[in-house]
Every structure is written in C-alpha cells, then in structure tokens.
C-alpha cells in the first residue's frame, strides 16, 4: 500500500466535494476511515491466511463489492432516506474514497495486485502505470525505504491532491462571487 497518510489525503480531497452536513467531524472521520479500512485486512497475516487468498491482503476488502457495501452502510449515518438523492451522493463519495485505496495500491510497485472483482474472480490486478513505491508495513516505515515511499507519494498523490483542492476552492470562490 501507499502509506496510510497518502490514502487519507486523497479522502480529504474527495470530502471537499460535499461538506454541507451537520455532522462535519463524523463526515471527515468516515472519509478517512474509508480510505484506510481496506488495509485492516493485514490482520489476515496474523491468522496465517495466504496473501493470495480471497481474504488475504489486497483481497476482498480491496474489491469493488466491498466498497459498495461499506459505502452504503456508512452513508446511513448521514442520510436515513436511502431512496433520496442525498443518500446516493453520500454513497458515491464514500465509494470513491474506499475504492481509491485499491486504485492506489494497484499503482504501487510491490506485493501482489488488487483483487478488484473478488469474490467473483480471484485475479489480482495492477495498472500498467505503477510509479508509487510500496510502503513498508508498521515500524519499518521510519527508514530510508520509508523516505523513498514518501517522495514517490508526494509526487504522485499529494501534489495532485492539493492541486485538486485548490481548483475546487477556486471554483467555489468564483461561484460565490458571481
Ligand atoms: Zn491496501
């Protein structure tokens, strides 16, 4: 995975799209949770589940189906009317945050690919374009390798993220002043 910090920053980018909620803090918390929850599957290593298994690392929790289920369950916290347009917007935002995790993982240069179509297909996917250095897990993060990871993430995730936030803000500012 890219580091959890980078997964989260992308979540914050998405959160800029929708902030008219009375539960702002909870909203930000949930967005960040969406971006890192797929990696809670590292617990599978402790249970000796093989990396390549459907419930191994980058397996089901990184799939599109998981992102759909997770985003729907979390959206209920914000909008009770599941048939409303507002609910759909929440689902889309939380879905994007959750699936962004797998997308970034598929752009890393290490480990196995992402099982996007789990449980229907066990194939692991990587994108052709994989500029992000894979992040060491746990305490090894604070090492020279960790530094290389941060640099690659700065270039490929953080800078585009901040540019995107800046663009959204400029757009909002312009809209307000017309
Ligand atoms: Zn991951």
Of the given ranges (117-121, 122-126, 163-167), which has the lowest mean pLDDT?
Answer: 163-167
Can you name the residues that pair with 114 across neighbouring β-strands? 125
pLDDT band with cut points at 50, 70 and 90 for residue 138? low
CA of 70 to the centre of ligand 1 (A): 15
Residue 21 above 90 pLDDT? Answer: no
What is the distance in A from the centroid of ligand 1 to the CA of 101? 6
Instruction: Give the Å distance between the CA of 102 and the centre of ligand 1.
Output: 6
Q: How far apart are CA 133 and CA 140, in angstroms?
A: 14
N residues, the chain: 178
| Confidence at 142, pLDDT banded by 50, 70, 90 | low
Q: How far is the CA of 59 from the centre of ligand 1 (A)?
A: 9
Q: Which of 56, 48, 44, 92 is nearest to 72 (CA)?
A: 92
pLDDT score at 2: 63
What distance in angstroms lies between residue 105's CA and the mean position of ligand 1's atoms?
Answer: 6
pTM comes to: 0.80
For residue 119, which of 27, 55, 38 has the smallest C-alpha distance?
55
Which residues, in sequence order, are bridge partners of residue 125? 114
Decide if pLDDT at 30 tops 60: yes
- Cα of 77 vs centre of ligand 1, distance in Å, is 25
Q: What's the gap in Å between 7 CA and the centre of ligand 1?
A: 9
Would you say residue 152 has pLDDT above 90? no
């Amino acid at each position: 995975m890219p580091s959890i910090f980078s997964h989260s920053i992308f979540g914050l980018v998405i959160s800029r799209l929708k902030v008219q909620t009375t539960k702002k803090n909870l909203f930000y918390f949930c967005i960040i949770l969406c971006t890192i929850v797929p990696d809670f599957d590292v617990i599978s290593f402790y249970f000796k589940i093989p990396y390549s298994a459907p419930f191994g690392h980058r397996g089901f929790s990184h799939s599109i189906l998981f992102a759909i289920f997770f985003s729907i369950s979390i959206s209920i916290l914000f909008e009770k009317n599941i048939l409303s347009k507002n609910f759909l917007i929440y689902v889309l935002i939380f879905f994007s945050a959750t699936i962004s995790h797998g997308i970034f993982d598929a752009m890393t240069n290490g480990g196995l690919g992402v099982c996007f179509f789990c449980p229907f297909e066990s194939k692991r996917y990587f994108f052709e374009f994989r500029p992000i250095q894979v992040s060491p897990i746990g305490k090894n993060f604070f090492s020279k390798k960790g530094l290389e990871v941060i640099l690659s993430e700065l270039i490929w995730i953080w800078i585009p993220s901040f540019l995107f936030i800046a663009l959204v803000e400029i757009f909002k500012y312009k809209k307000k002043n017309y």
